[in-house]
Structure 1
């Protein structure tokens, strides 16, 4: 599962870069921009679901203690 999370984070960053670049050259209401933005939303939702499931699994296996878990918007969640 950790491998899936890492792969989706890479996809998120690539899609963000594409969206920022596209947003500079096209209107934010352009269908292509909207489609890419919706794709990014789906990736982010999938990432959050995987991350939540991963943390839940670790906690219930006893491998994760609350004091060892930290999360920030900038660097993602670390165990």
Structure 2
């Protein structure tokens, strides 16, 4: 998330076997881009970044912390 890339220990020397992170943003974000956060799930963490600055540092949350945040944000 901060521009420092590394190869997974599960990758082989053949290349092309790395996992891509699929970033998604809310359907409420609108077509103009706006002020949005993007979220991606990776093994062991939920990643969050600013859609206007995708190369900037972001945040990583454990599954329990993310679930708690979502519940609180949804008012449950």
Please classify the TM superposition score into its range, dividing by the shorter chain length: under 0.3
Asked which structure has the greater CA Rg, the reply is 1
Bigger fraction of residues in strand: 2
Query: If the length of structure 1 is used for normalisation, what is the TM-score?
Result: 0.22
Bigger fraction of residues in helix: 1
